Structure 1
């Protein structure tokens, strides 16, 4: 349901966020299946991965194709003026690419979670949403937000002749915006319910509650701010830097700021991540032979 140039970034980010939301369940799933045969260890048997692929195929792809058919100009960020300007193979690539990107994001984040690098799995979410918002805000030519708030090619061409407020008002009264509202309620609503539900399911597992340092509602708010708010602010900041000092200086400067914000050992983002109760270490797959592990045979590796 988003413009095609940003759709794959969004699908990857959703897949990674789904895996991070179900991080504890995925670790338990790995522990339970340790030593079992190939049938039970099949990736297709993972219910969280299957539901991620189902979400992408049933909700993201049809809504995106509907908007592409209804308004090909807006859906292609006005690269194509109409249906005749959209190559059929491009539509096929879009329809197949969305589930692939979502599954890829899930698998990458899951792999990081299972080796005890939960924070790096979180960075997959941040990176995907940063690219999504960066495409919508700045785009490839600095006109990303103009392309988003123009419901037709004519509106986009007339952008310099009218005010931003009038363009936004025209867009929010268009049929494209109405379709976005309807599809957004289904797609984004389902996405948020799934992520919150999996987070709360993970908090109910043995040993999980001790890692959550704040109440449930505040933990969900912090998680939402970290996954959605931080990348949006970052994309906006990067766009402002590029507009002020140019891409050759603005992007390296932004990379330095982002690196210090996200990767430094005492980063406030790392501290907030630790409050939510998403795994920051690895739950070993195996039974507690020494008898000193946590409930239900789950042992923890606190050195990770």
Structure 2
């Protein structure tokens, strides 16, 4: 239910976020997989992965195709004016690419969680959402936000003729926004409920709540801010720097700032991540681990 150019980034981010939210459950699944052997239980085909792929195929793909059919101009960020301007490959890329990108995001984050690199798994979600918001805010030519808030090609062409407020108000009273509102309630609502439920399920496991250092409602708010708020703020900052310094220098400055903020051992993001109680470490699943658990 998002424009084609940003859809794969969102799918990857959703898959990674689901894996991080179910991090402790995935660790237990890995341990059980080793205990039963690869012929009786796959280390990849677990119920959390299955539900994640179902979310992508039953919600992300149909809603995206609906909007592509309803308003092809908006869905393609006004690259195509009407249905005849939509290359069939776009439809194929959307319908087939969304589940694949979601699967890639989930398996990449899952692999990092099982290696004991939970923070790096979280960064997979941050990276995916940063690219999503960056596409919607800046785009490939600095007009991402104008393409997002224009219902058609004519509206996008006439964007400079009116104020931003009036352009946004016109979009908010359009049928495209109404469709986004209704579909978004189902898609985003299901996504958030799933992530919160899996996070709380992990806290309920034996020893699963030892790392959480704040009340659960605060931990959920911090997790949401870290997964959605931080990439959104980063996309705004990156767009501003590119407009101010030019794309090459702006991206270079942003990369340096992001590296310090996200990768430094003493960064505030790492500290906040530690408060939530999402797995930061993990034993490596082995036969010895199973014997100890027994």
TM category (shorter chain) comes to: over 0.9
Is there any run of 5+ residues in structure 1 with no aligned partner, and where? 299-304
Counterpart check, 1:241 vs 2:241: yes
Q: Which residue of 1 aligns with 2:181?
A: 181
Counterpart check, 1:137 vs 2:137: yes
How much has 1:280 moved relative to structure 2? 0.4
For 1:35 and 1:22, locate their aligned partners in 2 and report how far apart those are by CA, in whole Å.
Answer: 20
How much has 1:41 moved relative to structure 2? 2.9
Note closer, same or farther for the CA distance 1:84–1:32 as it changes in structure 2 (3 Å cut): same
For 2:105 and 2:73, locate their aligned partners in 1 and report how far apart those are by CA, in whole Å.
Answer: 28
For 1:234 and 1:140, locate their aligned partners in 2 and report how far apart those are by CA, in whole Å.
Answer: 16
Which string of whole-angstrom CA distances, capped at 9 and with x for unpartnered residues, describes residues 138-163 of structure 1? 00000000000000111000001000
What do you get for the CA RMSD once the two structures are aligned?
1.6
Which string of whole-angstrom CA distances, capped at 9 and with x for unpartnered residues, describes residues 49-105 of structure 1? 000000000000000000000000000000000001001122012100000000000
Indicate if the aligned counterparts of 2:33 and 2:43 stay in contact, CA closer than 8 A: no
Indicate if the aligned counterparts of 2:60 and 2:98 stay in contact, CA closer than 8 A: yes
For 1:175 and 1:289, locate their aligned partners in 2 and report how far apart those are by CA, in whole Å.
Answer: 56
Note closer, same or farther for the CA distance 1:212–1:17 as it changes in structure 2 (3 Å cut): same
How much has 1:287 moved relative to structure 2? 7.0
Note closer, same or farther for the CA distance 1:284–1:43 as it changes in structure 2 (3 Å cut): closer
SS at match of 2:18: helix
Counterpart check, 1:56 vs 2:56: yes
TM-score, normalisation: structure 1 = 0.94
For 2:290 and 2:28, locate their aligned partners in 1 and report how far apart those are by CA, in whole Å.
Answer: 19
The number of residue pairs the alignment matches comes to 294
SS at match of 2:150: coil
How much has 1:42 moved relative to structure 2? 2.1
For 1:91 and 1:265, locate their aligned partners in 2 and report how far apart those are by CA, in whole Å.
Answer: 43
TM-score, normalisation: structure 2 = 0.97
Q: Which has the higher helix share?
A: 2
For 2:176 and 2:147, locate their aligned partners in 1 and report how far apart those are by CA, in whole Å.
Answer: 13
SS at match of 2:283: strand
How much has 1:176 moved relative to structure 2? 0.3
Q: Which residue of 2 aligns with 1:117?
A: 117
SS at match of 2:177: helix
Q: Which residue of 2 aligns with 1:267?
A: 267
SS at match of 1:34: helix
Q: Which residue of 2 aligns with 1:157?
A: 157
Counterpart check, 1:128 vs 2:128: yes
Indicate if the aligned counterparts of 1:23 and 1:278 stay in contact, CA closer than 8 A: yes
Note closer, same or farther for the CA distance 1:154–1:95 as it changes in structure 2 (3 Å cut): same
Indicate if the aligned counterparts of 1:28 and 1:283 stay in contact, CA closer than 8 A: no
